[in-house]
Structure 1
Amino acid sequence: MTATKLYTAEQVRALDAAFIQSGTPAQQLMKRAGRAAFDALLARWSEPEEITVYCGSGNNAGDGFVVAALAAARRIPVNVVLVGEVEKLSAEARAAYDFARQEGVVMMPPGPAPSAGVIVDGLLGTGISGEVRPEYRQVIEQINASALPVVALDLPSGLNADTGAECGLAVRAALTVSFIGLKQGLVTGRAPALTGELLFADLSVPAEIYKSLTATAERPEFADLLAALPSREADAHKGSFGHVMVIGGDTGRGGAAIMAAEAAARTGAGLVSLATRPEHVGAALARRPEIMSCGVISGQELEPWLARPSVLVVGPGLGESPWSEQMLQQALATDLPLVLDADALNLIAAGRLWREGARRDNWILTPHPGEAARLLASTTAGVQQDRYAAVRSIQQRYGGAVILKGAGSLVASADAPVQVITAGNPGMASGGMGDVLSGILGALLAQGAPLAQAAALGASLHAHAADLVAAERGQRSLLATDLLDYLGELLGD
């Protein structure tokens, strides 16, 4: 089973049940999980001074008991902090508890935090949905305050396995080992800040078990996405690769539109033009003379220019002035494929240029959580509470393809699993990143990439370029325009 498939907690429980019904005892499966986690721990920390395993009352507590037993068998000092009640353990977890006791593992109630070694988190499993209960919250606070490295069993306790939201408080792990099926909540939202290194162990579940379920989401491979971009014929000319027009750059916001246009050029569009406020044309020509820049002061002036491009990118630096509305109105009146970002999305959400219930199948919308909240008449916190539901809702309401930006960007299109882009880094939290993404997306559409594939490839290309920059220069000083020089390296010939 490829780890690119992502599942809900309910689906993973179904996989687990199907595997057990096929003849593998649940106790054996628990031992495999504990062994996988223990091996991963030793691969990262080969000689831990001691191991402290925190266990609740669920089945991942059973995995924790197995880890403790294996550590004791290796003569590694180990203790179990038992937060849950033994009487509430399942039969399999109780057997693992007895196994650990037989190996001489000491069971103790919560007390002072350990001061050395490695912590193993077996407190809470995939079933949590509401707030972490006070007795567990207190222990999680203690674990996080210890500053010791933590190995999370299946997922960090307090993290929602389906949404990636933090249920009030969650364990901050250095390493997470996920079992049987990789949970979709481990790769987006708060999860990237909590999981640390993410490993997957299928516990030898056979491939035919996985075929019984359709994954709700996927982590696409960059090479597979790149294959969606048509190759270039030897006799190609600039007209073969489309014409992207970027529309944006209201007064004082010209840089955003210029960055988007340059990104489109660097991503391989045959022609790139820029429609912006007249005062920004000089800066655009000085920055990148290959871009055909025109100054327009009204929608009426823009209209003749719209006969030339094959794709429109609208929103970078657009603003929300009467000029902005005229620019977007003219773009929406065309049948051209669109990429909408920033204030173009805010104007759509405001309802002045787009009627409720209308849909369009040839555009890519690229909201960050705040813009997504406006599109859904919700809140940013509401969007982040369930990013999967939010991106699907936007796609169903507005059509086309939608990229919900953020850590673990989500890409939704009609009748397909959500694509999760796990590349990228915190250095991308700086101005202009979304403008560069918009230009990339426009260029991919202009070159003939299908809408859904262009959205996923563009988001992945953008994130991988940022990772290359960060690897060379660090994250803290990363600028949006730094990505431009790395796009060609990633795109190849």
Structure 2
Amino acid sequence: MPSSYPVARIRAAERQALAEGRRLMPLAGAAAAAFVARRIAPGAVVLALAGPGNNGGDALEAATRLRKLGLDLRVVLPAGAQGLPEDAARAFAGWIAAGGTVTAAPEPGLVPDLVIDGLFGIGLNRPLGPGWQALVDTVNGWHVPVLALDVPSGIDADTGALLGRPILARWTLSFIARARGLEVPAAAHAAGELHLDTLGVAMPGEVGEA
């Protein structure tokens, strides 16, 4: 069984699961929240970076769950909530309903204990724009643990190419299957420890978990 896959195959598995009526984003958010909860002390400050796509929705789902566990969650949503995909918009509504708030940038002077990188995931295929790059540079300058969801922002998930200066993660938690770009040395350096949660989804043509 391959250890990593092209993005197109991961997307196909995701589409199939969604067509079967499975809601994957809450599962991804729960997996990310559990990952963080095992590695952070009570009362810690966690900053979730939520991008404009479904990767941002995963981060919002995780933030909602961690907030309910009593952690101090901050959410940065640089592109705002307008235009979020349906599932991500639902995750955003859940975050707000839980009493959460969002800002467009990190609060001045804030240095969190841990960052969840949900900016772009496997969807990025162009260089980071100046604003996104500035945010990534700020996060890297904190030198705090980062959990990247799927792939660190600033990495092409298919080729492993650096699309700017990527977020430097301590851990990367992939969902469904690992993107093949994470095997490229430069991308692997940015990704840190690699972890996988299949969310119970089998890759096309395979039986059981990927």
TM-score bucket of the superposed structures, by smaller chain:
over 0.9
Distance 1:147 1:178 in 2: 22
Distance 2:83 2:20 in 1: 26
The Cα shift of 1:45 comes to: 2.6
Aligned residue for 1:71, secondary structure, equals helix
> Which of the numbers 86, 89, 93 marks the counterpart of 2:88?
93
**TM-score, normalised with respect to structure 1:** 0.40
Task: Supply the AA of the counterpart residue of 2:21.
Answer: G
Q: Is the 8 A contact 1:113 1:143 kept in 2?
A: no
Are 1:83 and 2:78 counterparts?
yes
Are 1:17 and 2:15 counterparts?
yes
Query: Aligned-residue CA RMSD in angstroms?
Result: 1.7
Task: Supply the AA of the counterpart residue of 2:84.
Answer: L
Task: Supply the AA of the counterpart residue of 2:143.
Answer: A
Structure 1 unaligned spans of 5+:
214-493
Task: Supply the AA of the counterpart residue of 2:185.
Answer: G
Distance 2:93 2:21 in 1: 23
> Which of the numbers 147, 156, 159 marks the counterpart of 2:143?
147
Deviations 1:237-267 (A, max 9, x none): xxxxxxxxxxxxxxxxxxxxxxxxxxxxxxx
Aligned residue for 2:65, secondary structure, equals helix
Distance 2:43 2:159 in 1: 33
Aligned residue for 2:123, secondary structure, equals coil
Q: How does 1:374-385 map to 2 (within 5 A)?
A: none
Q: Is the 8 A contact 2:48 2:74 kept in 1?
A: yes
Task: Supply the AA of the counterpart residue of 2:192.
Answer: G
Which position in structure 2 is the counterpart of 1:117?
A: 113
Which position in structure 2 is the counterpart of 1:66?
A: 61
> Which of the numbers 165, 169, 175 marks the counterpart of 1:169?
165
The Cα shift of 1:43 comes to: 2.1
Q: Is the 8 A contact 1:179 1:201 kept in 2?
A: yes
Aligned residue for 2:139, secondary structure, equals helix
Are 1:210 and 2:204 counterparts?
yes
Q: How does 1:75-474 map to 2 (within 5 A)?
A: 75-111=70-106, 112=108, 114-205=110-201, 207=202, 209-211=203-205
Q: Is the 8 A contact 1:9 1:126 kept in 2?
A: yes
Deviations 1:55-95 (A, max 9, x none): 11010100010011001111111010111231120010000
Structure 2 unaligned spans of 5+:
none
Deviations 1:183-234 (A, max 9, x none): 00112231121111110000011x4x53169xxxxxxxxxxxxxxxxxxxxx
Distance 1:165 1:38 in 2: 28
Task: Supply the AA of the counterpart residue of 1:5.
Answer: S
Distance 1:115 1:85 in 2: 22
**TM-score, normalised with respect to structure 2:** 0.92
Distance 2:8 2:185 in 1: 19
Distance 1:169 1:104 in 2: 33
Structure ranking higher in helix proportion: 1
Matched residue count? 206
